[in-house]
Amino acid sequence: MSSGSSQQAIGEFIRYLRVERGLSSNTVEAYQRDLAQLAALAQELGKEILTLDRAELVAVLGRLREGGRSDASISRFISAVRGFFRFAAAEGFTKKDPTAYLESRKAWQTLPRFLNQVEIERLLAQPDLASDAGMRDRAMLELLYSSGLRVSELVSLRMVDLDWEKGTLSCFGKGSKERCVPLGRSALDYLKAYMPCRQRLLRDRHTDLVFVERGGRRVSRQKFWRLTREYGERAGVGHVTPHTLRHSFATVLLEHGADLRSVQLMLGHADVSTTQIYTHVTNDSIRQSYRKFHPRS
């Protein structure tokens, strides 16, 4: 099979995701990166993607794990590869689907890491509030923990998305679905305190973005990931990402009695089964509390 057939199949699959499935640009780009990596690994085996068999795909997954890829990242990789081969088989690019009996996504999935309240407070205390950028970072961290937004939603937030009177924000998540999320008092207070800093950072430039760099440039996803990691290291709470705060948001709500459906809506999950992973975290906490405090445990 020629490399042209594989590349054509990949190209048509990406168009299918973008046009027919209507997936977000970030998701499509992630699938493209995963398939490009699969193509490179297949080439190392002297093969084209469409000629890979199940054993070779398992070997590729092993390589990814050895290379330090997280379970969540590998799960997404499997989803991309599965989707691609199903599409390729349906469109006649290949007669076999080597992912048909590949291990399920749950086999690679681990419980999400979250921070307890003490760790959260230490993390939030790291930005320098004497600087405009520091106040911006504190507002971003507070907002992320208060709302459970995805980092892409956070950096894309516009002024018109904030309802100061109701204490809510609106955002467009995956699949361009809009949702309304309530904000905590602390997040609102820091957002208000950040507004004069935002004006100074804009330097007479005009943008509707809430969070900006000097000169009105957008705070990139990569920049905020780096900042969050650095603040986590300074706080002594280990490796922290924006997703850690999203996980912490969901976990603390469920631990304090929020129903799963409400958390699903606030997180913007299309399927409640995605949200259910957090019930395992809270069940673990319940079991630990029982063992620690019950006299007959």
pLDDT in tens, 190-211: 999 999 999 999 998 999 999 9
Q: What domains lie within the chain, and their CATH numbers?
A: 3-106 (1.10.150.130), 117-292 (1.10.443.10)
Which of 17-21, 162-166, 269-273 is the least confident region? 269-273
From residue 76, give the alpha-carbon distance in Å to each of 34, 79, 103, 113, 133. 8, 5, 13, 17, 33
Tokens of 296: 């007959």
Give residue-wise pLDDT tens across range 105-150: 444 444 567 888 899 999 999 999 999 999 999 999 999 999 989 8
Q: Which residues are catalytic?
A: 150, 174, 243, 246, 269, 278
Tokens of 29: 């780009």
Task: Judge whether 26 and 151 are in contact, CB under 8 Å.
Answer: no
Give the ranges where the chain is alpha helix by DSSP (H).
Answer: 3-15, 25-44, 54-66, 71-90, 117-124, 132-147, 151-155, 185-202, 221-235, 242-255, 260-267, 272-275, 277-293
Measured between alpha carbons, how far is 191 from 209 in angstroms, rounded to an integer? Answer: 13
Measured between alpha carbons, how far is 239 from 219 in angstroms, rounded to an integer? Answer: 21
From first CA to last CA, the distance across the chain in angstroms is 62
Residue 60 pLDDT grade (very low, low, confident, very high; cuts 50, 70, 90): confident
From residue 124, give the alpha-carbon distance in Å to each of 91, 151, 227, 285. 50, 16, 12, 23
pTM of the complete model: 0.61
